[in-house]
Structure 1
Amino acid sequence: MELQSETLADEELCTITGYQLPSKQIQWLTENHWQFVLTGARRPVVGRVYARLKLAGVKPSSVNAVTETWSLNLANVS
């Protein structure tokens, strides 16, 4: 099972914004009220949980941005 990154991949950001150029992605994210941070190379970075909430039509907040809970299962350890 492959774990997903906590942030969207470049391809995912292109799919959401419809743009490959970081400047156009920034413009789209800003116009559509998405929160993001910029890397040193001025590329936008969007959190995966935040994106899921936005795409579901939920206004992200600290209350609903909690990721899945998990617990350590040692049942199969011998």
Structure 2
Amino acid sequence: MEMQSETLTDDELTAITGYMIPSCQIGWLNKNGWRYVLTRARRPVVGRIYARMKLAGVKPSAENVAAEAWSLDLSRVG
């Protein structure tokens, strides 16, 4: 199984915003209240977990984004 990046790919950001040009993506992100950071090349970077929450209609906050990660416990499988 392939690991997904912690940030959205260029194709995913294009699919969400509807724009391929970074300045237009930034405009869409600002208009719709999304948080992002810019690379040195002025391309927006959006976190994957943040994007999932926004798309699900959940307001991201420090409490629900920083939830403790779970791990699979197979100790009782036998």
Normalization by structure 2: what TM-score?
Answer: 0.87
Identity %: 67
In the aligned structure 2, how far is the partner of 1:63 from the partner of 1:17?
A: 26
In the aligned structure 2, how far is the partner of 1:32 from the partner of 1:19?
A: 14
In structure 2, list runs of 5 or more residues that go unmatched: none
Offset of residue 32 of structure 1: 0.2
Aligned to 2:36: 36
Aligned to 1:60: 60
CA RMSD, Structure 1 to Structure 2 (Å): 1.8
Which stretches of structure 1, 4 residues or more, deviate above 4 A after TM superposition?
72-75
**Structure 1, residues 28-71: CA drift from partner, whole Å, max 9, x if none?**
00000000000000000000000000000010001111367233
In structure 1, list runs of 5 or more residues that go unmatched: none
Aligned to 2:2: 2
